[in-house]
Structure 1
Amino acid sequence: YDRISIHGVRRVLLEQQATTLHFPLEEMFIRKGASNAEYESELLKVLRRYRDNSVCSVVFGDIFLADVRKYRERLLAEIGMRGLFPLWGKNTRLLASRFIELGFKAVVTSVDSTLLAKDFVGREFDEEFLSRLPANVDPCGENGEFHSFVYDGPIFNEKIAFKKGEIVLRDNRFYYCDLLPKSASA
């Protein structure tokens, strides 16, 4: 499969993203259908390595889901680490607009079809996209309404080249837009 869970983005694009940002990439592999206990076990293995190298905090982009924050904090506390949440409590409409104003470029890679129509997947994450969102959909997709892939912006050393591929429905609920690296032929 070689894709990122939930987002559906090909691994090679994630690798390109890390390379152009000059960020180290540590991948964690979870088998398809893994239980939450298996996920937590693998995650804690990775986090212990960081802790053992004097990393004491993990930064998360969570904005307002208190149960998610508590879950993360509980896991980290098990191994003596703590979570940092710099976006916590911020206005998501303002955050989304600021992201765009700063010059970041993203494409919507998956949508929950119970909340958004198929035509939202594969679209640019821009002001037009935000203006078309139904009132019950968070502008940052904080409730899992949609996910995206950031491919350019002021901190990128170069734009990640891709083309949009097939749109598919999976699990009878989520639409995914395949992003093909420009060098890919399929």
Structure 2
Amino acid sequence: MKQMDRPRTQVLLSWSSGKDSAWALHRLQQDPTIEVVGLFSTLNQEFERVAIHGVRKQLLMQQAECLGLPLRTLDLPWPCSNEYYARIMTAFVAEVVAGGIRHMAFGDLFLEDVRAYREQQLQGTGIQPLFPLWGSDTTELAQTMIAAGLKAHISTLDPKKLDARLGGHEFDQTLLAALPAGVDPCGENGEFHTLAVDGPMFLRPLAIEIGETVTRDGFVFTDLLPVEPTHAQCG
């Protein structure tokens, strides 16, 4: 009698909408012992945009459809204190555990304090954090992403570190060549954030248009827009 396969580990992935989350998804999908069962994202409730990345909620929802995965959004007030954020996440984690999931994955690369914070927040909750990209050489990782067909556009950048004219630019070899010395090729230190629109983790590409670029709160935001008609459309 053939031995039954062991059930795969169900994983919920923290989803920023950007290239690192997308590549974390790809890595997880390559592991035959893991099943990514969904995504979760935090949104700025006032502007209905992804926290930090500034991506419109409408595009985020379309992106999840293009990935073929359910998405849970968590609304955060603006401004949002660390205490309130922790309270929202604690309630969400309890809900996830009650649903039978025991693993959450994050696309962090090398920031020790960020990883330590996540581990501390999940300690004793019944959730084990996973970091599929942890310790990656970001110079090599950027090249690997691009070579594999991952496509993304800059949605937010820090003008103190990058030329504001790079807002909306595709994450490609031209961008990497334009990055000043000391800027991480994957933007892990907050130099820039992206919206992923295509790649091996997508069922079909997400169609977007590049909109207006504005400066707000010391950061440059490029409004990435869904292609009309505004109904969910993926390429």
Question: In structure 2, what residue type is equivalent to 1:91?
Answer: D
RMSD: 1.3
Length-normalised TM-score, structure 1: 0.95
Q: Which residue of 1 aligns with 2:18?
A: none
Question: In structure 1, what residue type is equivalent to 2:165?
Answer: D
Q: Which residue of 2 aligns with 1:134?
A: 180
Is residue 2:87 matched to residue 1:36? Answer: no
Structure 1 residues 184, 2: closer, same or farther in 2, change over 3 A? farther
Q: Which runs of 4+ in 1 moved over 2 A?
A: none
Tell me how far apart the structure 2 counterparts of residues 20 and 165 of structure 1 sit (CA, whole Å): 21
> When the two structures are aligned, how many residues end up with a matched partner?
184
Structure 1: which 5+ runs fail to align?
none
Structure 2: which 5+ runs fail to align?
1-46, 231-235
What fraction of aligned residue pairs are identical, expressed as a percent?
A: 43
Which of the pair is proportionally richer in strand?
Answer: 2
Tell me which of 197, 200, 210 is aligned to 1:151: 197
Tell me which of 71, 89, 107 is aligned to 1:25: 71
Give 3-state SS (helix, strand or coil) of 1:7's partner: coil
Question: In structure 2, what residue type is equivalent to 1:26?
Answer: R
Question: In structure 2, what residue type is equivalent to 1:165?
Answer: G
Q: Which residue of 1 aligns with 2:211?
A: 165
Q: Which residue of 2 aligns with 1:175?
A: 220
Tell me how far apart the structure 1 counterparts of residues 132 and 209 of structure 2 sit (CA, whole Å): 33
Q: CA deviation at 1:174?
A: 0.5
Question: In structure 1, what residue type is equivalent to 2:222?
Answer: C
Deviations 1:91-147 (A, max 9, x none): 001111111111111001110111111012110000110111112111111111100
Give 3-state SS (helix, strand or coil) of 2:223's partner: strand
Tell me which of 103, 108, 117 is aligned to 1:71: 117
Q: CA deviation at 1:184?
A: 6.3
Deviations 1:45-86 (A, max 9, x none): 111111112211211111111010000000000423221112
Tell me how far apart the structure 2 counterparts of residues 121 and 46 of structure 1 sit (CA, whole Å): 33
Tell me how far apart the structure 1 counterparts of residues 124 and 84 of structure 2 sit (CA, whole Å): 16
Tell me how far apart the structure 1 counterparts of residues 141 and 119 of structure 2 sit (CA, whole Å): 23
Length-normalised TM-score, structure 2: 0.75
